Amino acid sequence: MNYINFQLYKPVNATEAKLYWSTQDSIDWVKAKEAIKEYNLPVLVYNHLTGKILEVNPPLDSIIPTGKSILITDLTKLPDTNTILNEYIVMNGEVVKVTREGMIAHKWKEIKDYRTKKMYDGVYIASVNNWIQSDMDTQHQIACIHQLVLAGVNSGTVKWKFINNEMHVMTDALVREIFLATFKQVQAIFTAAEYARMRLDIADDILNFDYKTGFPETYTKE
């Protein structure tokens, strides 16, 4: 929904001494605010003549709408992610004010999201030439089986379905290999993320910063 160019007006039957605004399409500001609340989407206040974004998600009651327009939009559907809109920028469906600190903070969030994705994207197990799941549930179950191995009570009869649906018997040796491979991969992923953060702090081009360098390979090829 796009409310364009609010201006002061006086309703014909106005009885209260207060300010009234309406859009160029005669939509009253009070009714517009009620509709905006129903949408529950991000609010961009902008100048319709210049396209300049003035505010992002301000409290509605703080807006003095004279000469302003309001766009209600799902930011993930804006045409160009990482497109600068005057002093604001759309980064992965969020509007961020263009300051170095703000852009670094948002890019660091993006790095952490990528770190989590990599952690849960499978671990390669060389002895069976296969990939095993690495989500939290799988990691917990492998840790439990590993404890049985350490206690000397693993029967070696448990079978595990790997990512490609192949079944493998969880021998003591295989359990140890999976546990160690998962531990090493998690450490490598966190190390890569921290290295990316250090490079990000001194990067000249934060917008196009390539943080994926140094992350270990996981199941989903990029």
Same domain membership, residue 124 and residue 67: no
In a domain, 218, yes or no: no
Same domain membership, residue 79 and residue 10: yes
Same domain membership, residue 80 and residue 10: yes
Last residue of one domain, picked from the residues 75, 98, 121: 98
* The most confident of 56-60, 112-116, 150-154, by mean pLDDT: 112-116
In a domain, 77, yes or no: yes
CA distance 76 to 58: 19
Amino acid, res. 124: Y
Distances (CA, A) of 194 to 103, 105, 207, 211, 219: 17, 14, 18, 10, 22
What is the per-residue pLDDT across 61-100, written as a single tens digit (0 to 9) for each?
Answer: 899 999 998 888 765 555 444 444 445 666 565 666 657 7
What is the per-residue pLDDT across 163-192, written as a single tens digit (0 to 9) for each?
Answer: 999 999 999 999 999 999 999 999 999 999
Q: Which domain holds residue 73?
A: 2-98
Find the helix or strand (DSSP H, E) in which 92 lies: none
pTM over 0.75: no
What is the per-residue pLDDT across 153-163, written as a single tens digit (0 to 9) for each?
Answer: 876 778 999 99
Residue 110: both structure tokens together: 């993006």
What is the per-residue pLDDT across 26-63, written as a single tens digit (0 to 9) for each?
Answer: 999 999 999 888 887 778 888 888 777 788 888 888 99
SS3 16: coil
Q: What percentage of the chain reaches a pLDDT higher than 70? A: 86
Number of domains observed in the structure of the chain: 2
Whether the CB-CB separation of 117 and 216 falls below 8 Å is answered with no
Same domain membership, residue 127 and residue 55: no
- For the ranges 71-80, 116-125, 133-142, which has the lowest average pLDDT? 71-80
Give the burial string for 122-146 (b: 16+ CB within 10 Å, else e): bbbbeebebbbbbeeebbeebeebb
Beta strands, E only, 102-146? 123-125, 130-132
| Nearest Cα to Cα of residue 50 among 22, 69, 71, 28 | 69
In a domain, 117, yes or no: yes
Same domain membership, residue 82 and residue 140: no
In a domain, 196, yes or no: yes
Whether the CB-CB separation of 156 and 172 falls below 8 Å is answered with yes
Residue 156: both structure tokens together: 């070696």
